């Protein structure tokens, strides 16, 4: 059985209860995890409160060194961690390894920034006084992490929180706790003081609610679907907690008639079908200029036909299973709704056949055409391997239709025309715009959304600011 990690120790749930974690490709039990509850959250919070003064007062460079050391300890276990993540999440092992490498890069990025936090000197109208702005850690923080990228999205919270001098507890998704539990254990073994970083597993309705309601947790970072994010904001807001919410998206990709078709094809295929389409920044609506539409679609169908669907443990697999039965059912319902409203399936649109697929949550990569704007797959976030394709006459129509969404997370444009690229970057209603580039989140760049896609930013030096409180100090000199 996997164990939680609280106050520097591996612990089971006080109730003795556990639950099964199953492989989405085979249905087999990977391991069991503790079914923690409010009592475990309170224990983690008490440990974090006790550890906070010492961690806050630790020299920033020393905090950074401990994070660097933790990253190195995790790196030594990367191959076995990648296999564990694939077994519990479903993605191909190569994708799991890339995710853990991304986690390590982010941890080291913030380790390097720990000693780079700066305040300000402020001249005041009265020549006998001046002001200072100092930045201090908030206190006990919590990160609530989803199942699609359970390690990277844990890192985007742990890194800046600890580098800034806060203490933290993590709640992983109930279906993907195992790799996160092991990594938190390794980071503690690398030398973090007791209580600085804990992890509690259990149902969101219990563990998550205690995090939101507990007044001693001063900062919550949540990544997940928009509906849950609204609940997080409502409940945590009653306690005046500091919040960042990284929520759903319906990212548009625009390909102009002067774009590099081959690069854009790769961008569309990888951007939609990586991690079986289960990414908040995945391409979910593809807009093609009329003159290139037929050529692009034909070539994209060819690319999709070559994607090997299968168990993520097989080295030739490029598309693993969806993570849960409910996730697959939602995609099937969205595709069926699109077809009912006049949409046409160009490829895919069903489950693969054969004994290898019977026990897993597999679904073929799917392309759709002639989908109306009121279809569910256009109006909702589509979290799986299905992509609707639209024909547009020019950039104005493409941008207008791209912005016709409640979401505003990512977006991209593929063009050789700098004027078009600049216009799209300025006019697309999204927190992030990629120009001739895959939708990839970089630790060096702020990441987050507008509209229903969230509040605040993760990644980049900007993320540190969400883990610090500015304090104004006025100094009388004479």
Query: What are the catalytic residues?
Result: 246, 280
Report the chain's C-alpha Rg in angstroms.
Answer: 23
Residue 302: how many CB atoms within 10 A of its CB? 12
Q: Which residues contact 213 (CB under 8 A, 6 or more apart)?
A: 235, 238, 239
Do 407 and 454 contact (CB within 8 A), yes or no?
A: no
Q: What angle do CA 10, 12, 17 make, to 5 degrees?
A: 165
| SS3 call for 349 | coil
- 330 to 12, 21, 323: CA distances (angstroms): 34, 21, 12
- 408 to 192, 226, 249: CA distances (angstroms): 37, 12, 6
CA dihedral sign, ordered 305, 306, 307, 308: positive
Residue 18: how many CB atoms within 10 A of its CB? 17
Alpha carbons 203 and 175: distance in angstroms, whole number: 10
Residue 315: how many CB atoms within 10 A of its CB? 10
Q: Where do we find the tokens 């299973």?
A: 321
Q: Which residues contact 154 (CB under 8 A, 6 or more apart)?
A: 103, 143, 145, 170, 172, 180, 183
Nearest alpha carbon to residue 447 among 180, 228, 155, 196: 155
Strands 9-11 and 4-6: antiparallel
Q: Is 220 exposed, middle or buried (0-12, 13-18, 19+ CB in 10 A)?
A: buried
Alpha carbons 66 and 180: distance in angstroms, whole number: 18
Do 288 and 297 contact (CB within 8 A), yes or no?
A: yes
Backbone angles phi, psi at 2, to 5 degrees: -70, 160
């Amino acid at each position: 059985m996997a164990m939680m990690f609280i106050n520097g120790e591996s612990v089971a749930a006080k109730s003795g209860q556990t639950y099964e974690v199953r492989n989405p490709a085979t249905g087999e039990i990977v391991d069991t995890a503790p079914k923690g509850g409010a009592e475990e959250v309170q224990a983690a919070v008490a440990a974090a409160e006790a550890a906070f003064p010492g961690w806050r007062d630790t020299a920033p460079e020393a905090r950074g060194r401990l994070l660097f050391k933790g990253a190195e300890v995790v790196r030594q276990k990367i191959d076995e961690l990648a296999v564990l993540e694939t077994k519990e999440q479903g993605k191909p092992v190569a994708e799991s390894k890339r995710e853990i490498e991304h986690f390590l890069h982010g941890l080291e990025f913030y380790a390097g920034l720990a000693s780079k936090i700066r305040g300000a000197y402020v001249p005041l109208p009265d020549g006998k006084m001046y002001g200072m702005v100092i930045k201090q850690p908030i206190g006990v923080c919590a990160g609530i992490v989803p199942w699609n990228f359970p390690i990277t999205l844990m890192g985007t919270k742990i890194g800046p929180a600890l580098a800034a001098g806060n203490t933290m507890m993590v709640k992983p998704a109930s279906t993907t706790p195992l790799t996160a539990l092991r990594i938190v254990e390794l980071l503690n073994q690398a030398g973090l003081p007791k209580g600085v970083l804990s992890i509690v597993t259990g149902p969101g309705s219990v563990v998550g609610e205690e995090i939101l309601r507990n007044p001693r947790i001063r900062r919550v970072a949540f990544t997940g679907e928009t509906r849950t994010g609204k609940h997080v904001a409502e409940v945590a807001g009653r306690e005046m907690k500091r919040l960042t919410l990284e929520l759903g998206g319906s990212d548009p990709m625009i390909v102009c008639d002067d774009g590099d078709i081959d690069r854009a094809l790769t961008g569309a295929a990888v951007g939609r079908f990586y991690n079986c389409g289960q990414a908040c920044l995945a391409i979910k609506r593809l807009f093609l200029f009329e003159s290139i539409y037929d050529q692009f679609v034909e070539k994209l169908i060819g690319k999709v036909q070559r994607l090997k669907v299968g168990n993520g443990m097989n080295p030739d697999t490029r598309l693993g299973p969806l993570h849960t039965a409910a996730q697959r059912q939602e995609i099937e319902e969205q595709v069926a709704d699109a077809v009912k409203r006049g949409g046409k399936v160009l490829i895919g649109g069903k489950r693969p056949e054969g004994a290898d697929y019977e026990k897993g949550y597999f679904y073929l990569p799917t392309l759709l055409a002639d989908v109306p704007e009121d279809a569910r797959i256009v109006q909702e976030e589509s979290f799986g391997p299905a992509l609707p394709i639209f024909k547009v006459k020019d950039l104005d129509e493409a941008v207008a239709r791209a912005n016709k969404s409640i979401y505003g997370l990512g977006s991209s444009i593929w063009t050789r025309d700098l004027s078009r690229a600049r216009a799209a970057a300025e006019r697309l209603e999204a927190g992030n715009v990629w120009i001739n580039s895959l939708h990839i989140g970089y630790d060096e760049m702020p990441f987050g959304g507008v509209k229903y896609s969230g509040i605040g930013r993760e990644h980049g030096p900007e993320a540190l600011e969400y883990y610090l409180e500015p304090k104004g100090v006025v100094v009388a000199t004479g």
